[in-house]
Amino acid sequence: MRTGLSFIAVLAAALAVVAASPAEPGQISSKRAEAERVLAGIDAIDMELDRAVEAYNGATVQLETINRDLAANETRLVAARANLAAAHKRVANRVLALYTSQEPDALAVLLGASSLGDLIERIDSVNRISRDDVRIAEEVTRFRNEVRTRQQRLVQAQAQQRRIVAQRAARRSAIEGQLAERQTLLASIKDEISKLQAAEQARQETLAREARAQLRSTQTQTSEQQSSPPPSDPTPPAPSPSPSPPPASPPPSTHGGVVGIALRYLGVPYRWGGASPSGFDCSGFLMYVFAKVGVYLPHSSYMQFRLGRFVPRSALQPGDAVFFNGASHVGIYIGSGRFVHAPHTGDVVKISSLGDSWYSSTYVGARRY
């Protein structure tokens, strides 16, 4: 989530309004200082909330993984108990059989043997059956003990992860409490913000039209290239005397289609923890859009930053994920130095520029999935 661009625009609008007013120079200077102070305070609050929300998302993903492991382990434990009971029953039946007419006991073996070879074979048969039963029981018991040990460790990990989630949720709630202060700050420059909102909406509509036009142009060019036969060249190029290996670079992007999908959701409101068209946070937006092309990402910008292939800024292609502010914020690159993202509370999915001062200064890298 980010507010850098909108804050800068707010400040510009505020200063423009002040400059156009008949106020005295001293009043203008005071109003400018107040606007700068307000915007700096809002910026700091949003950056902290940005980090807290994504830390909470990451902790929640880890807890979900532990819960799935616990469920799978419980299934294995049930199977182990059933196998153990079956093995014990088999052993009991074999012991009982040795003392009934159905199975010879040791004395019957001695008296019923017709020869020394027959005696040895009978004793070996009984002992072999007994050894197999004991082995089965021992193996199942060992398996059960291993599952129980793993279960205990998972339960401990679950408890610890729940504490982490609770701590990060508390941190997030504390920062959300500052949103009331944020609203108070915004109210102090509400006239400037109302003018900004109209201007920003118009600007976003222009950016959206340009982005869709660029997408259509790219798709048309790709279609023409695929349908046109390669040009014939009767003269083959002369081989290079000593070709040098190409520089290492990530493979071409195969998910440029996410740009068209992402642009469908322009205007959807920001909602922390959101990962659906009813509301997105930054990592939830990325997760939802990429799932549409068969790429499944965790709901955490920090985890998303560890996946895929690193992409140099000079090699960005539409569909790459771009990260900011220590990887606590993420968006989808759409070309021409722009990206689409879910910025922050109170904003909507929108288009921003990598060239904006805040995004440029906090840019940490890009990944290609």
Please list the active-site residues.
282, 329, 341
- Distance (Å, rounded) from C-alpha 291 to C-alpha 335? 21
In the structure encoding, which two tokens stand for residue 313, read together? 């800024």
Q: CB neighbours (10 Å) of residue 35?
A: 22
> Edge to edge, what strands does the sheet with 321-324 contain?
309-311, 363-368, 321-324, 329-335, 338-341, 350-353
Helices (H), 189-313: 190-227, 258-263, 282-291, 301-305
Region label for 246, one of left (φ > 0), alpha (ψ between -120 and 50) or beta (otherwise)? beta
- Do residues 174 and 229 touch, judged by C-beta distance below 8 A? no
- Distance (Å, rounded) from C-alpha 151 to C-alpha 355? 51
Residues 88, 93, 96, 101: what is their CA dihedral angle, to the nearest 10 degrees?
-170
